[in-house]
Structure 1
Amino acid sequence: MAEMTLEQRIDRLESTEAIRQLAGKYSLSLDMRDLDAHVNLFAPDIRVGRERVGREHLKAWVDTTLRDQFTGTSHHLGQHIIEFIDADHAIGVVYSKNEHETGPEWVIMQMLYWDDYERIDGQWYFRRRLPCYWYATDLNKPPIGDMKMRWPGREPYEGTFHGLFPSWQKFWSQRPPEGELPQVAAPAPVDRFLQTMRGDTPAPKIRVR
């Protein structure tokens, strides 16, 4: 990691806090259904699906999703890890524990977001949010076993909570030889912890809930 000037270090601290605020504002604006505040957290030319671009299309998509699926929601944020690619681009992982009122059921969910952030004209925005789900289930039905994504009225399916990181599958498929101490890799550079964990693993295909 190259030595930074005092001005650069202050800018990094201010940028880190601005990005943390993005995640909090995302949850609040979504739960309170302020869709203008919500979509303005994203870059003006945000891509929505394969063919649409812009906040107007994002607002239309979010509006339809919320009206069709949820009476109310609450998103509770956990740890937030942020790494900078350069002065104006960063990535991050945010844990989120969510509650949803959906028809006659109260659905709880555990997930994480893989985020791409970009500073445009001095302000930080989401460039992309990749939601990776572990489980979704009725409050009174623990999601034991496979196919932990269990939404009312739908067939259960697998989430992508572990799909970003190759370590999950490697852990379960490669048990260390009995009686031998496992090898320990060199620590990741301080500014490349997330990138080292993920390696060249491609983004999983996310199933819209």
Structure 2
Amino acid sequence: MKTSHLIDLLATEAGPAPRALPARRIGAVVPFGWLASIAATLVLLGPIPASLWAEPAPWIKLAYAGGLASGALWLTTRLARPVARTGGPVISIVAVVILMALLGLTTLLAAPASERLAALLGHSWARCPVNVLLLSLPTLAGALWALRGLAPTQARAAGLAAGLLAGAVGAMAYALSCIELSAAFVALWYSLGIALAGGLGALMGPWLLRW
């Protein structure tokens, strides 16, 4: 039997691959990764004072990280299939980053010149990206595991997307402990932590996701 005939026979009445499978498989691991990161945050770092919830800062952090997580989840599920169309997810991620950057820049320029560096660095600029990266690891492990059971053909891009998803989830958890109030701080250091998680995913993708 010729190879082409065998392929035709195997494909007869097979129907299209289920589109919802990647979203179900990847989306299922995100809550577990987030809960693990939240537990680590509260146990190891402690929660923010309850009074801070009256400030806009925690909500800005959660909204930014949540928006990135949504776009990155969309991108990851697209890249879990061959011949992925990634234009929409990429645009959504870039749009969220630009909006956060504009908000951070606006608040920074509105502050007195003598206070801008302090607003940008805060009290924890050196720890923030590292903490976000570390808190991303549970979700990154789960997302890469989920991708291994699917059909990504762009391993590095899929790993990058999984890393961005994990970084955003880690940032959402870290926001529960972070006392920084400056939007400029969030725009810079949270973004750096999420980017580090994306870079780690991109490094691991070709190793873990190759067929």
TM-score, normalisation: structure 2? 0.29
Q: Quick check: which one's helix share is greater?
A: 2
Q: Quick check: which one's strand share is greater?
A: 1
Question: Bigger relative contact order, structure 1 or 2, given CA contacts below 8 A and separation 6+?
Answer: 2
TM-score, normalisation: structure 1? 0.29
